[in-house]
Amino acid sequence: MLHCLKKLAGGMALMLMLALPALAAESNCITCHKKVTPNIVKDFLEGEMGKSGSVDCFHCHGKEHQSAKDVAKVTMPTEKTCKQCHTKEHDQYASGKHALAWVAMDAMPTNKIQPHAYIQGMKGCGGCHKVGIRDEKSRDEGRYGSPCNSCHTRHKFSKAEAKKPEACRTCHMGFDHPQWEMWSNSKHGSIYQMEGDTGRAPTCQTCHMGDGDHNVMTSWGFLALRLPEEDAEWMGYRVTILKGLGVLDAAGKPTPRLDLVKAGKVARLTKEEWQASRDKMVGVCSKCHSASYAKTSLGNADKMIKEADKLMAEAITIVADLYDKGIIKPQKGQPAYPDLLTFYDTRTPIEQTLYVMFLEHRMRAFQGAFHMNPDYVTWYGLAEMQKDLVDIKADAAAMIRESGHKK
Q: Which residue has the higher pLDDT, 2 or 222?
A: 222
Binned at pLDDT 50, 70 and 90, residue 404 comes out as: confident
Is 80 exceeded by the pLDDT of residue 1?
no
Report the pLDDT value the prediction gives residue 386, as an integer from 0 to 100: 98
Co-location of 365 and 266 in the same domain: yes
Is position 61 within any domain? no
Is 90 exceeded by the pLDDT of residue 9?
no
Question: What range does the domain containing 273 cover?
Answer: 217-403
**Residue type at 139?**
R
Torsion sign over Cα 175, 179, 185, 186:
positive
Q: What average pLDDT does range 137-166 have in this prediction?
A: 91
Q: Among 16-25, 150-159, 377-386, whose mean pLDDT is lowest?
A: 16-25
Give residue-wise pLDDT tens across range 28-83.
Answer: 899 999 999 999 999 999 999 999 888 889 999 999 999 989 998 999 999 999 99
Give residue-wise pLDDT tens across range 305-353.
Answer: 999 999 999 999 999 999 999 999 998 888 999 999 998 888 899 999 9
Q: What percent of the chain has pLDDT over 90?
A: 73
Co-location of 177 and 245 in the same domain: no
Co-location of 209 and 277 in the same domain: no
The residues near 74 (Cβ < 8 Å, ≥ 6 apart) are 61, 62, 64, 65
Q: Output the average pLDDT for the chain.
A: 90
Report the pLDDT value the prediction gives residue 13, as an integer from 0 to 100: 41
Co-location of 260 and 287 in the same domain: yes
**Residue type at 88?**
K
Is position 334 within any domain? yes
Whether residue 247 contacts residue 257, with contact meaning beta carbons closer than 8 Å, is answered with yes
Per DSSP, what are the bridge partners of residue 254? 248
Is 70 exceeded by the pLDDT of residue 2?
no
Co-location of 191 and 241 in the same domain: no
Is position 298 within any domain? yes
Is position 23 within any domain? no
Q: Is the bond leading into 228 cis (omega within 30 degrees of zero)?
A: yes
Q: Which residue has the higher pLDDT, 343 or 187?
A: 187
Is position 321 within any domain? yes
Q: Among 198-207, 235-244, 257-266, 311-320, whose mean pLDDT is lowest?
A: 257-266
CATH code (residue 382): 1.20.850.10
Is position 10 within any domain? no
Report the C-alpha gap between 205 and 211 in whole angstroms. Answer: 9
Co-location of 252 and 333 in the same domain: yes
Is 80 exceeded by the pLDDT of residue 10?
no
Co-location of 299 and 233 in the same domain: yes
Report the pLDDT value the prediction gives residue 407, as an integer from 0 to 100: 63
Whether residue 231 contacts residue 299, with contact meaning beta carbons closer than 8 Å, is answered with no
Whether residue 155 contacts residue 195, with contact meaning beta carbons closer than 8 Å, is answered with no
Q: Domain count of the chain?
A: 3
Q: Which residue has the higher pLDDT, 10 or 336?
A: 336
Whether residue 318 contacts residue 392, with contact meaning beta carbons closer than 8 Å, is answered with yes
Instruction: Give the CA distances from residue 288 to residues 152, 183, 190, 254, 370, in Å, rounded to whole numbers and listed in that order.
Output: 28, 17, 16, 42, 16
Binned at pLDDT 50, 70 and 90, residue 25 comes out as: very low
Q: Among 10-14, 192-196, 230-234, whose mean pLDDT is lowest?
A: 10-14
Q: Among 135-139, 248-252, 302-306, whose mean pLDDT is lowest?
A: 135-139
Co-location of 203 and 227 in the same domain: no
Q: Could you tell me which of 252, 297, 253 has the C-alpha nearest to residue 278? A: 297
Co-location of 381 and 330 in the same domain: yes
Report the C-alpha gap between 317 and 71 in whole angstroms. Answer: 55
Report the pLDDT value the prediction gives residue 24, as an integer from 0 to 100: 40
Binned at pLDDT 50, 70 and 90, residue 26 comes out as: low
Instruction: Give the CA distances from residue 233 to residues 40, 239, 252, 393, in Å, rounded to whole numbers and listed in that order.
Output: 56, 10, 16, 22
Please tell me the pTM assigned to this model.
0.88
Q: What average pLDDT does range 365-379 have in this prediction?
A: 97
Co-location of 344 and 291 in the same domain: yes
